[in-house]
């Protein structure tokens, strides 16, 4: 699913932006890079992280809802889950890193608009000297990519087990309903054998039985 793949990339980029920006600003706020990079406003990270978690929840629901409904209806669900998740690569990391920087810029613009201030000139919105800031953001993007991938694999694996349990319950209920006529047939044959044994004990031939009376 391309939509799911892009959803994972966007979610990882949002998480990287929501975690990387406060991290860089906290280091800058400690005075490591001088007073010109001090920024203690981290409110922009809250809506970004909420959006990322909401997107991940939607991805899990989309991947799990179709096979779960199929299992509850007694159908064979399509294969899905942890095995269907592709391992992240360099291209995916590059996309996440690029979207992360865009998310950081958006967060800084939103914080500046809310506080009534101007955006810092040049690349100062990165919160640190450019090489150091890019290195920190790249490391955070890599960690975010791995974290999202592991979390999705775990959640989809748990959902796959849930679908398997649901399918076993459906098949068990279906087998019970299928075995019910067979048990009734066995009871009917036992009654017939019992009547035949009674007739033999009395002696002579057993009286004829109509199919209607036997069925009753």
- Of 49-63, 109-123, 185-199, least confident by mean pLDDT is 185-199
Alpha-carbon distances of 45 from 42, 58, 150, 182, 211, rounded to whole Å: 6, 20, 22, 64, 80
Q: Indicate whether 72 pLDDT > 80.
A: no
Q: Mean pLDDT, to the nearest integer, of 59-79?
A: 66
48 vs 89, higher pLDDT: 48
Alpha-carbon distances of 20 from 105, 123, 143, rounded to whole Å: 12, 16, 10
What average pLDDT does the chain have?
75
Q: Indicate whether 16 pLDDT > 90.
A: yes
Most confident listed range (75-89, 99-113, 128-142, 193-207)? 128-142
Can you give the pLDDT at residue 125? 79
- Dihedral, CA of residue 32, residue 37, residue 43 and residue 47, to nearest 10: -100
Give the largest CA-CA distance in the chain: 116
148 vs 196, higher pLDDT: 148
Look at the alpha carbons of 31, 37, 39, 45 in this order and tell me if their dihedral is positive or negative.
negative
CA 13 to mean position of chain CA atoms = 18
Q: Report d(CA 125, CA 202) in Å as an integer.
A: 105
Confidence of residue 98 (pLDDT cuts 50, 70, 90): very high
Can you give the pLDDT at residue 108? 83
Confidence of residue 164 (pLDDT cuts 50, 70, 90): confident
Can you give the pLDDT at residue 159? 76
Confidence of residue 216 (pLDDT cuts 50, 70, 90): very low
Can you give the pLDDT at residue 123? 78
Can you give the pLDDT at residue 213? 47
Can you give the pLDDT at residue 12? 93
Q: Mean pLDDT, to the nearest integer, of 71-91?
A: 60
**Is the CB of residue 119 less than 8 Å from the CB of residue 125?**
yes
Q: Report d(CA 143, CA 15) in Å as an integer.
A: 10
Structure tokens that stand for 162 in this block = 């849930």
Can you give the pLDDT at residue 174? 65
- Of 78-82, 101-105, 131-135, 156-160, least confident by mean pLDDT is 78-82
Q: Report d(CA 167, CA 79) in Å as an integer.
A: 13
């Amino acid at each position: 699913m391309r939509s799911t793949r892009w959803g994972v990339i966007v979610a990882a980029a949002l998480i990287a932006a929501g975690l990387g920006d406060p991290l860089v600003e906290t280091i800058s706020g400690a005075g490591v890079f001088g007073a010109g990079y001090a920024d203690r406003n981290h409110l922009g990270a809250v809506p970004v992280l909420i959006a990322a978690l909401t997107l991940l929840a939607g991805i899990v629901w989309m991947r799990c809802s179709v096979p779960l409904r199929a299992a509850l209806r007694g159908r064979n669900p399509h294969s899905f889950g942890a095995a269907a998740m592709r391992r992240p690569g360099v291209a995916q990391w590059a996309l996440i890193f690029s979207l992360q920087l865009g998310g950081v810029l958006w967060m800084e613009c939103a914080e500046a608009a809310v506080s009534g201030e101007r955006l810092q000139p040049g690349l100062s919105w990165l919160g640190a000297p450019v090489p150091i800031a890019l290195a920190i953001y790249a490391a955070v993007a890599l960690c975010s990519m791995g974290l999202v991938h592991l979390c999705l694999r775990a959640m989809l694996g748990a959902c796959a087990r849930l679908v398997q349990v649901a399918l076993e319950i459906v098949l068990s209920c279906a087998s019970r309903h299928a075995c019910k006529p067979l048990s009734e047939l066995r009871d009917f044959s036992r009654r017939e054998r019992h009547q035949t044994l009674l007739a033999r004990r009395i002696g002579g031939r057993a009286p004829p039985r109509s199919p209607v009376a036997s069925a009753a």
